[in-house]
């Protein structure tokens, strides 16, 4: 039986989060320390642990069928690689930054300047779209130090919290693109392996839906039921069960975690009591 081949970053945070989401999909991977290849025990899947920067080429060549990778790297090197699912972790942005002492007004300020970056294609596309010509210095790693040692006037790099820029006396001035981890697919994937991919995507979507929602239970006086149900943004309609105490019901529903607090406030005002919130392990729509 064919196995689908997935590339994952060899080490680092993206590696950890990738393995975590596969585990939440019920996939057990037999990986020992320093292994470059591993096989799942209970799903037709092989894992290749690769350098992050090499993954787009492996996808292009069909050496692997799919990969968990940052959007920013696909934009830089990905060509015709298709994204099949956004995974919601490893969020960052690719940004231009200049020394804090520099007065900045617009992207036109980069005209004729020297910019150090690990993302030359991304920067060139952006500058071309803005009609700006700049000299690019390609650096792999420690880009932030370039202005401090006189190598460049500015940098373009990935930014998460911005603390690294702050420590190097830099300020973020332009966001070129936002990024998160995605599941990407090789243009050379076979039909047989594409069918396995469909099964994997189904599991991933169930996990991602669960991460985005919370299961909520509450006690409501029957006289307030209609008012409470009007507030609820549930999947379809909530489950309403009678309590042992006459005149009361238990209401069960699912609420998006981003809307949770505002909805809870409204529920309390509408008469809900004893509100219990639970995480959801899987959610199949």
% of the chain beyond a pLDDT of 70: 98
- Which residues make Cβ contacts (< 8 Å) with residue 101, sequence separation at least 6? 169
SS3 of the chain: helix, strand, coil, percent, to 5:
35, 35, 35
CB-based contact 122:156 (threshold 8 Å): yes
Confidence of residue 17 (pLDDT cuts 50, 70, 90): very high
The C-alpha atoms of residue 56 and residue 81 are separated, in whole angstroms, by 8
Q: What mean pLDDT comes out for the span 30-39? A: 78
**Residue 45's pLDDT band (boundaries 50, 70, 90)?**
very high
pLDDT at 233: 73
Q: What would the mean pLDDT of 213-242 be, rounded to a whole number?
A: 89
Contacts for 142-146: CB closer than 8 Å, 24+ residues apart = 143/116, 143/117, 143/118, 144/97, 144/168, 144/170, 146/116
- Ordered by where they begin, the domains of the chain are 4-90+180-210 (3.40.190.10), 92-179 (3.40.190.10), 214-279 (3.30.70.120)
For residues 34 and 13, give the distance between their C-alpha atoms in angstroms, rounded to a whole number: 16
Q: What is the pLDDT of residue 285?
A: 78
3-state secondary structure 165-179: HHHCCEEEEEEEEEE
202, two tokens: 């189904």
Confidence label for 69 from pLDDT (cuts 50, 70 and 90): very high
> What would the pLDDT profile of 139-157 be if each residue is shown by its tens digit?
987 899 999 999 999 999 9
Q: How far apart are CA 205 and CA 70, in angstroms?
A: 18
Average pLDDT over residues 47-61: 94
Tokens of 76: 């830089």
Measured in degrees and rounded to the nearest 5, phi and psi for residue 21 equal -70, -35
pTM of the model: 0.87
33: pLDDT confidence band, cut at 50, 70 and 90? low
What would the pLDDT profile of 93-114 be if each residue is shown by its tens digit? 999 999 999 999 999 999 999 9
> Which pairing describes strands 92-99 and 170-179: parallel, antiparallel, or unpaired?
antiparallel
Split at pLDDT 50, 70, 90, the class of 159 is: very high
Count CA atoms closer than 13 A to 137's CA, side-chain side.
Answer: 19
Residue matched to tokens 């006189």: 150
**For residues 46 and 64, what is the distance between their CA atoms, to the nearest angstrom?**
9
**Token pair in block for residue 279:** 């995480």
Asked if 180 and 100 touch (Cβ cutoff 8 Å), the reply is: no
72 pLDDT higher than 70: yes
User: With contact defined as beta carbons under 8 Å apart, do 34 and 139 qualify?
Assistant: no
């Amino acid at each position: 039986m064919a196995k689908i081949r997935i590339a994952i970053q060899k080490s680092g945070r993206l590696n950890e989060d990738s393995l975590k989401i596969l585990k939440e999909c019920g996939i057990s991977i037999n990986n020992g320390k320093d292994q470059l290849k591993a096989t799942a025990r209970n799903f037709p899947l092989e894992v290749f642990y690769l350098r992050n920067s090499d993954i787009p080429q492996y996808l292009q060549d069909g050496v692997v069928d799919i990969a968990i990778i940052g959007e920013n790297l696909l934009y830089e090197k990905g060509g015709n690689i298709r994204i099949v699912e956004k995974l919601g972790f490893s969020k960052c942005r690719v940004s231009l930054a200049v020394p804090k002492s520099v007065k900045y007004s617009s992207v036109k300020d980069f005209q004729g300047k020297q910019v150090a970056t690990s993302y030359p294609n991304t920067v060139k596309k952006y500058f071309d779209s803005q009609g700006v010509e700049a000299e690019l210095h390609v650096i792999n790693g420690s880009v932030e130090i370039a202005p401090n040692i006189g190598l460049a006037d500015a940098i373009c790099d990935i930014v998460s919290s911005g603390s690294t820029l702050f420590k190097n006396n830099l300020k973020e001035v332009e966001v070129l693109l936002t990024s998160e981890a995605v599941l990407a697919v090789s243009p050379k994937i076979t039909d047989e392996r594409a069918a396995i991919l469909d099964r994997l995507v189904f599991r991933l979507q169930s996990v991602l839906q669960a991460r985005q929602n919370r299961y909520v239970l509450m006690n409501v006086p029957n006289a307030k039921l209609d008012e409470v149900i009007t507030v609820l943004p549930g999947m379809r309609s909530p489950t309403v069960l009678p309590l042992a105490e006459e005149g009361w019901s238990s209401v069960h529903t699912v609420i998006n975690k981003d809307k949770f607090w505002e909805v809870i406030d409204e529920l309390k005002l509408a008469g809900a009591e004893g509100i219990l919130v639970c995480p959801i392990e899987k959610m199949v729509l």
